[in-house]
Amino acid sequence: MQLTIGQLARQAQLSADTVRYYARIGLITPQARSSNGYKQFAEQDVRRLHFIRQAQHLGFTLTEIRRILHQAGEGDSPCPQVREIIARRIDETRRQVKQLVTLQKRMEDALAHWENLPDQRPTGHSVCHLIESVTADDNECH
């Protein structure tokens, strides 16, 4: 059974624009064109779109997904590559979480310090004395 972009989008629970984009970047490929020029896709493309969504949900980029699909299409197991990408992504995510926790602490400390400071108008030398009271060296308010 051949599916139009709209039918494929409905079955995969995606927007037609997303399906068009995935077709444009080569994640899915139309099987044929109908007599009226509409691209037609196969049922297997619904499964492929579900796979793409699952991979994105795990943090894979479209570029990584394209490589995984290509490797699988060549008959090679993409599993070692998938494990490597996820391991690297876990390390990156841990680093980002640590940076965010540090930023949150810095923001909380600044807000606590600022609660008792009066509002001031900008001067020729100062834009916002609250931000300017935070030093970049030790990230503490003075």
Q: What is the DSSP string of the chain?
A: -EE-HHHHHHHHT--HHHHHHHHHTTSS--SEE-TTS-EEEETHHHHHHHHHHHHHHTT--HHHHHHHHHHHHTT---HHHHHHHHHHHHHHHHHHHHHHHHHHHHHHHHHHHHTTSPP----SS-S-HHHHTB-TTT--B-
Residue 79 lies in a domain: no
Residue 73 lies in a domain: no
Report how many domains make up the chain: 2
Is 28 in contact with 66 (CB distance < 8 Å)? no
Provide the whole-model pTM.
Answer: 0.74
Query: What are the pLDDT digits (tens) for 53-94?
Result: 999 999 999 999 999 999 999 999 999 999 999 999 999 999
CATH number at residue 26: 1.10.1660.10
Both 54 and 102 in one domain: the answer is no
According to DSSP, the residues that pair with 39 across neighbouring strands are 33
Query: What are the pLDDT digits (tens) for 91-108?
Result: 999 999 999 999 999 999
Find the Cα–Cα–Cα–Cα dihedral 48, 18, 26, 65, rounded to 10°: -60
Residue 53 lies in a domain: yes
Residue 116 lies in a domain: yes
Residue 115 lies in a domain: yes
Is 78 in contact with 68 (CB distance < 8 Å)? yes
Query: What are the pLDDT digits (tens) for 7-17?
Result: 999 999 999 99
Name the pairing type of β-strands 2-3 and 32-33: unpaired
Q: How many residues does the chain have?
A: 142
Show the domain range for 116: 98-132
- According to the model, what pLDDT value does residue 12 have? 95
Both 54 and 6 in one domain: the answer is yes
